[in-house]
Structure 1
Amino acid sequence: MRHYSVELAVPGGGRSGTVAVYGHWGRPVLVFPTEGGDAWEFARNGMIGAVEGLVDAGRVKLYCVDSFDAETWSAHHLPLEERAWRHAAYETWVLDAVVPHIRADTGEGADIVTAGCSLGAFHALNFAFKRADLFPLALSFSGNYDPATWKSWGERGDAVYFNSPADYVANLHGDHLAWLRQRLSVLLVCGQGRWEDTTGALESTRRMGGLLAAKGIRHELDLWGPDVPHDWESWRRQLAHHLPRFS
């Protein structure tokens, strides 16, 4: 399997991060790690191996990125609004450094899939909603889409609202909603076993499925059984099950 890594910085200065790339050709998939994870996390936990056949066949090319969670959403000593404002640096890095690299590598017209597990699932969904022109498909596994439940404190403002799918999806309307109905597709996957309840993932996934249904946005809600926990073994199986349909 062809793979390499690259350190990318925001043009003109700013935070840099690593992108680990797997594959030689195929539909580009931008992979976000779990909370505090790095670009190598997917490979370390067997996720690349779970879809190795697709990668080797040139059906997908995976771009796995670092997280900035330690300074943003996981900085629990900060009020939630400040964490959300700090997330803007991550958004800038992804949009101004990572996406241009993917486009240069796979072609300017390539639609990029987002994917992630746990907190990575939140990133996959949030980026797709905010920039469906770039990311028309989100694959989200065991996500919690409400930052207000992440050990939050302090007053919430626009920064939190516009990074909280649990909030803004409910208020989508008009031409933008009509465009999202045409452009965006979402896959929500979650087990019903251990830790899916304590992380809030199961409840949040169900709620997000209901919001998407109410807004008429294309989506699939796939809930696995009570023997499927919030862990890498589950996500390996779920990714191997679903990714072939989108590549």
Structure 2
Amino acid sequence: MTENYYKWHSPHIGRDFEMLVFGDRGYPLLLFPTSMGRYYESKDRGLIDAIAWFIEQGHVKVYCPDGLDIESWYNRQIPPAERALNHLLYDAVIFQEVLPRMVEETGFGRIAVAGCSFGGYHAANFAFRHPEKVSYLFSMSGLFDIRSRIEGHYDDNVYFNNPMDFMPDNPHPDLWRMGIVLGVAERDVCLGQNEQFSGILHNKQISHWLDVRPGTVHDWPVWKQMLPHYLSLIK
């Protein structure tokens, strides 16, 4: 399996940004790390090994960008408004620096996004903010409401990065042609949010699959079962 490491100076955050890429061809998959995770987390935790067949067969090319949670939503040392602004910078890095590379290298105009736990938030938020660029969303034990990270603060930057809030009124037509999977464990701390968000999608008549895995918990073993299954759905 081909593995490449990239580091470049990001003009959006004013410092170096790092990423691992697995595979040399196939459908582009953007795989976010979990809360405060780094670009190498999916490799170290065995998630890349779990989907190695898809990479080796050329079905997917997997891009694992670094995370900025420690500077944004998880940074209790700065005001909540600044946390939201820092997240917008992260979104700009992914949308304007990582995404063009994915499109150019694979030849696909739209991508798949995935993530586990807080990475599921990033995947969902990115997909629903930029549905014209995302064809598949695979959220695994994700959350969709960021308000627990902002201590009561609320502004437009929070609203437009909080899927539970902005999705009910999101009219973008490409939402209705996105393949969406909300995977969650039966005994998952995020089960309630997944059920609630599934209800929002259902009310909008957006096709999706709420995949509740029986007898499982919020942890890597179930995510390593989920992701290969979901990648098999890519057409």
Q: Write out aligned runs for 1:28-107 (5 A).
A: 28-107=28-107
Q: Residue 216 of structure 1: which of 187, 199, 205 is its match?
A: 205
CA pair 82-210 structure 1, distance change in 2 beyond 3 A: same
CA offset at residue 6 of structure 1?
A: 0.4
CA offset at residue 104 of structure 1?
A: 2.2
Name the structure 1 match of 2:166.
168
CA pair 12-231 structure 1, distance change in 2 beyond 3 A: closer
The CA distance in 2 between the partners of 1:163 and 1:79, in whole Å, is: 16
- Give the residue type in structure 2 aligned to 1:234: V
Over residues 74-94 of structure 1, what are the superposed CA-to-partner deviations in whole Å (9 max), with x where a residue is unaligned?
112334332111111101111
The CA distance in 2 between the partners of 1:183 and 1:114, in whole Å, is: 15
The CA distance in 2 between the partners of 1:14 and 1:185, in whole Å, is: 34
Residue pair 1:181, 1:218 contacting (<8 A) in 2 also: no
Name the structure 1 match of 2:147.
148
Question: TM-score normalized by structure 2?
Answer: 0.94
Residue pair 1:181, 1:216 contacting (<8 A) in 2 also: no
CA offset at residue 12 of structure 1?
A: 7.9
Name the structure 2 match of 1:189.
183
The CA distance in 2 between the partners of 1:184 and 1:74, in whole Å, is: 29
The CA distance in 2 between the partners of 1:182 and 1:18, in whole Å, is: 33
Residue pair 2:131, 2:175 contacting (<8 A) in 1 also: no
The CA distance in 1 between the partners of 2:135 and 2:230, in whole Å, is: 16
SS at match of 1:37: coil
Name the structure 1 match of 2:216.
228
- Give the residue type in structure 2 aligned to 1:184: M
The CA distance in 2 between the partners of 1:102 and 1:80, in whole Å, is: 31
More strand by share: 2
CA offset at residue 11 of structure 1?
A: 4.9
Residue pair 1:8, 1:19 contacting (<8 A) in 2 also: no
Over residues 40-86 of structure 1, what are the superposed CA-to-partner deviations in whole Å (9 max), with x where a residue is unaligned?
11111111111111110000110001100000011123343321111
Name the structure 2 match of 1:8.
8
Over residues 108-127 of structure 1, what are the superposed CA-to-partner deviations in whole Å (9 max), with x where a residue is unaligned?
x4321010000100010111
Name the structure 2 match of 1:129.
128
Residue pair 1:133, 1:183 contacting (<8 A) in 2 also: no
CA offset at residue 180 of structure 1?
A: 3.2
CA offset at residue 182 of structure 1?
A: 3.5
Identity %: 33
Residue pair 1:137, 1:184 contacting (<8 A) in 2 also: yes
Question: TM-score normalized by structure 1?
Answer: 0.90
Moved more, 94-103 or 25-34: 94-103
The CA distance in 1 between the partners of 2:8 and 2:121, in whole Å, is: 22
**CA RMSD across the alignment:** 1.7
Residue pair 2:12, 2:92 contacting (<8 A) in 1 also: no
The CA distance in 2 between the partners of 1:95 and 1:78, in whole Å, is: 24
> Could you list the runs of 5+ residues in structure 2 that have no partner in the other structure?
none
